[in-house]
Amino acid sequence: MTTVYANAADHAVAGTYETREADWRMGAVVYQVLVDRFAPPADLAAKRHLYPAPKRLRGWDELPRQGEYLAAHKLWGHEIDFWGGDLQSLATRLDHVRSLHADVLYLNPICDAYTNHKYDALDYRGVSPEYGTRADVIALADTLHAQGMKLVLDGVFNHMGRNSPAFRAAEADPASPYRDWFCFDPALPGGARAWWRAENLPELNLENPAVRADLWGDADSVVRGWLRDGADGWRLDVAFDIGFVYLDELTRSAHAQKPGSLVVGEIPNWPAQWYPSVDGVMHFGLRQLLIRLAGGQLDATTFGCILERMLADCGIENLLRSWIYLDNHDTIRLATALPDPAARRLATVLQFTLPGSPNLYYGSEVDLEGGDDPEMRAPMPWDRVAAGQPTLDLIRRLGALRRSHRALRIGDWRPLIGQRLFAFERHTDRAGDSVLVVVNPTGDVVDEALVVTDSKLMDATPLVDLLGTLDGAPPSLRAALLHLRLPPKGVAVLGVDTAPQGGYTNYKRVQ
């Protein structure tokens, strides 16, 4: 935005925020679904034949539990427990996803695979029959697009399933054309290199150009084909194992097929050098830091220093495309990690207000509990949604705030200077866009004055309590100071009111 009152800093970023707004990948709210566990099917009896023994079909009210190791199948019993959800039942619950103001639906793997988690692909181009067909995925993408949403699929390109026709053929015949797709070694358990030594997950030989061509390089490759059929992006499983060079190949291929598509990597490392091999990362480290901050194991100053370093190393726009998650299918549930509701609220507010794309795991909006694998993959408790719930209300309000306040989606970040409170501003080149976020991660009441280092915010500017969490009216800014008193684990999200008061505004010559 450029006006006659724009200053030198405004001119330097002219058009930046408008360009970010046009990129759906920046600041999007992402909702993650395990298809098998999200919505019960319309006719479960008609699907029972899709779960032959030793697979087991569970009742929707049953919770997943650790199973025994099945040596003959080289997997664990809980990997073949199913709850029966499918793509058609998922489509009947999109109203719930929309109610959370989600921009993106991210599906854990839907490819044809033997297990319930589908990280052991049999056929990347096919859809597991328990879930439906490729036509169902195309129909889902069309529905999402009509509602202004995007679809991201889970790409598992580091390894396949031991039961895949390609691996079986390669294992049985050294002359098979698929023999060089895998790394056979009789000295290894199972006779082939496997991801983290899980024999059911033989690794693909990505050094073989034919493998990369089939996965992402060719016009009819897996990556390009699904983008052509309606997917808008890929979340890449164990992307760190694929490495910088091959990730760069994959990302370039995805962008060539569908300009503006998203490639997000599951990368627990410090993220800086992984860009631009991927568009964004899943913030493993930031998740742990947020949980420790909310749980009282990390102080505000240290957390702020780490965040400033991350922004300096990575760049704001890379972080805006990266996913901020507090739990997912591989971690214990947030409600289990942080039993204190106030601590969970603090972590969730930061998830939705820090620079990035909030990645919400199904069920966490109603405090679904769950410990280690497989407990974190329980079926969606729809009775909790129907009953209403404080966390559900909070997430809906935070999602709405991101829609109505552009700085929370695509704005820059600057810290507010204080001691015990963690506070920051999300801002653009418009003074009225600014949002101030303040949290008290301690177990004490904190009464503190914070320095707001924004030259555009005027003395006596009224603030607006956007979440309604303050006890009493919000303060005004006074000489660049914000004075707040927050209870233990208290939070505040404050907008600035630049509208004329009684016909007068001191913002008349400041944009």
Residue 237 appears among annotated catalytic residues: yes
Question: d(Cα 330, Cα 154) in Å, to the nearest integer?
Answer: 14
Task: Tell me which DSSP letter residue 213 carries.
Answer: I
Non-local CB neighbours of 342 within 8 Å, separated by 6+ positions: 488, 489, 490
Question: d(Cα 6, Cα 14) in Å, to the nearest integer?
Answer: 9
CB 193 within 8 A of CB 203: yes
Q: What is the sign, positive or negative, of the torsion defined by CA atoms of 141, 146, 149, 150?
A: positive
Question: d(Cα 466, Cα 349) in Å, to the nearest integer?
Answer: 12
The CA-atom distances, in angstroms, between 57 and each of 72, 83, 197, 472 are: 20, 6, 28, 52
> Which residue type, as a one-letter code, is found at position 413?
W
- Please give the structure tokens belonging to residue 332: 């214990």
Question: d(Cα 56, Cα 458) in Å, to the nearest integer?
Answer: 64
72 CB neighbour count, 10 Å cutoff: 7
**Residue matched to tokens 């100053």:** 301
Question: d(Cα 323, Cα 30) in Å, to the nearest integer?
Answer: 8
- Please give the structure tokens belonging to residue 461: 């500017």
DSSP string, 321-383: TSEEES--TTS--HHHH--SHHHHHHHHHHHHHSSSEEEEETTGGGT----STTGGGPPP-HH
- Please give the structure tokens belonging to residue 300: 């505000």
Catalytic residue of the set 79, 120, 266, 454 = 266
Phi then psi dihedrals of residue 82, to 5 deg: -125, 155
In the 3-class helix/strand/coil scheme, how is 431-442 assigned residue by residue? HHHCEEEEECCC
Catalytic residue of the set 86, 120, 130, 237 = 237
Q: What share of the chain is helix, strand, coil (3-state, %, to 5)?
A: 35, 20, 45
Question: d(Cα 178, Cα 161) in Å, to the nearest integer?
Answer: 14
CB 494 within 8 A of CB 438: yes
Question: d(Cα 261, Cα 254) in Å, to the nearest integer?
Answer: 7
CB crowding 394-432: b at 16 or more within 10 Å, else e: bbebbbebbeebbbbbbbbbbbbebeebbbbbbbbbbbb
Residue positions annotated with a catalytic role: 237, 266
